[in-house]
Amino acid sequence: MFRFFRRPKPEPSAPGAPPAAGPETAPAAAPDIAQVEQEQKQKVELSLQPTRRGIFSQIGELFAADEITPRLWDDLQDLLVLGDCGVVTTNFVLDELERRVTRERIKRAATAYSVLKGLLVQVLQAPLNTHRPPWATGQIMPRPYVMLIVGVNGVGKTTSIAKLARYFQRLGNEVVLGAADTFRAAAIDQLAIWAERVGAPLVRHPPNADPGAVVFDAMSVALQRGTDILIIDTAGRLHTKTNLMEELKKLRRICEKQLAGAPHDVLLVIDATTGQNGLQQAKIFTQAVDVSGVVLTKLDGTAKGGIAFAIARELGLPIRFIGTGEKLDDLAEFDATLFVEALFT
């Protein structure tokens, strides 16, 4: 999965040639894919533990009894709703499960349990199959690969960007950041601190400058440098604010104008504690700027993250990454099986 995202190491400079330009601090270590994958798995499991101890582990208990009882269905419905899966998705999953149980004459609760897990994985996996990012299909990555990060206020965009930067750096990419949140007090400073920690160049303008100008600048810098990845931070905005959504559309257009095909990824950051409104957020943002994937943050809390199922099922949007803490390393590429597994085992 990570393979195609790896950049070949730069050619050693000829003697006498100037050293290759790059970030001055924290050079990326040579990527060890296997190690990264292993760490990913551990991290996801660890961070999802609070969730596990919560209601989803209760689902496991439900199925411990030998037989399938009517009570089982009611309790299951309650638990899925409690996990923020939403009424529609819950009904869908239960209807499907019931269909399978009847059709396959499943008697034992444990079997039904596996079927349920399989169904949930399927729900999450479907969009991942139909929306495979270029790096997963072996295509040559455009350079710069431009990622626009959007979302409502307070979800964790800026922190996620720092994590994404570190993540891609560890795989051998040069990352440049763009501070296009020129509205929120000290937002630029916040990203600047992260940029320094991560050792990524930051394109910034003074506060209250036109965010479009920052995007334009960031694109120019990234193009000129031949950087691998450009990640652009935008101001948090409620999807109900039409003028702000219009502004976001404009930012997207500016990317497009400078590089055909950009932005290559518009990632919507959603807080795992968000209830059903997360769906509405995803809908409206997608309508406005064609969201290509979701980053689901704050899964280290007790929120069950059930909104992931609803988003995948009802909007067909792939969850790309999950955020599992406030530190730089607290990011994992989304894996449907791992996610469901960690919730139930």
Partner 1 sequence: MFETLSDRLQAAFQRLSAKGRLEETDVDEAMKEVRRALLESDVNFKVVKDFIARVRETAIGQDVMRSLTPAQMVVKIVHDELITLLGEAAPLLRAPKAPTIYMLVGLQGAGKTTMVAKLGLQLKRTGQSPLLVAADIYRPAAIHQLETLGKQLNIPVYSEGTKSSPVTICQNALARAAELRSQTVILDTAGRLHIDETMMDELVQIKAQVNPTEVLLVVDAMTGQDAVRVAETFNTQVGITGVILTKVDGDARGGAALSVRTVTGVPIKLMGTGEKPDALEPFYPDRLASRILGMGDVMTLIERAQEEYDVDQAKAMEKKIRTATFDLEDFLSQLQMVKKLGPLQQIMEMIPGMGQAMRQHDVKVEEDDLKHIEAIIRSMTPKERHRPEIIDSSRRRRIAKGSGVTTQEVNMLLNQFKQMQKMMKQMGGWDGKGKPPRHIRSMMNMFR
Rounded Cα gap, residues 209 and 22, in angstroms = 27
**Rounded to the nearest whole angstrom, what is the least distance from the CB of residue 10 to partner 1 in the complex?**
30
Answer for which of 95, 98, 290, 326 binds partner 1 (CB under 8 A) is: 326
Of residues 238 through 257, those in contact with partner 1 by CB under 8 A are 238-243
- For residue 184, the 8-state DSSP code is S
Q: Please state, in angstroms and as integers, the Cα–Cα distance from residue 14 to each residue in 11, 17, 174, 304, following that order.
A: 9, 5, 21, 54
In sign, the C-alpha dihedral spanning 288, 289, 292, 295 is negative
Footprint of partner 1 on 183-202 (CB under 8 A) = 183-187, 189-190, 192-194
Contact at 8 Å (CB) between 276 and 310? yes
Q: State which residue, 155 or 164, has the beta carbon closest to partner 1.
A: 155
Here the tokens at position 81 are 């709703």
Locate tokens 């008697």: which residue? Answer: 107
CB of 277 to partner 1, least distance (A): 4
Give the one residue of 28, 128, 175, 307 binding partner 1; rule: CB under 8 A. Answer: 307
Burial 245-266 (b: 16+ CB within 10 A, else e): bebbeebbebbeebbeebbbbb
Q: What is the CA radius of gyration of the chain?
A: 21
- CA–CA gap between residue 186 and residue 115 (Å, rounded): 49
Cα separation, 236 vs 157, in Å, equals 8
- Residues of this chain, 149-168, that bind partner 1 according to CB under 8 A: 152-156
| 87 makes contact with partner 1 (CB under 8 A) | yes
| Per-residue contact flags (x/-) with partner 1 for residues 200 to 239, judged by CB under 8 A | -------x------------------------------xx
Q: Which of 4, 301, 315, 341 binds partner 1 (CB under 8 A)?
A: 301
Binders of partner 1 among 53-82, rule CB under 8 A? Answer: 54, 78, 81-82
Report the site for partner 1 in 93-112 (rule: CB under 8 A): none
Residues in contact with partner 1 by CB under 8 A are: 50, 54, 78, 81-84, 86-87, 152-156, 183-187, 189-190, 192-194, 207, 238-243, 271, 273-278, 280, 284, 298, 300-304, 306-307, 326
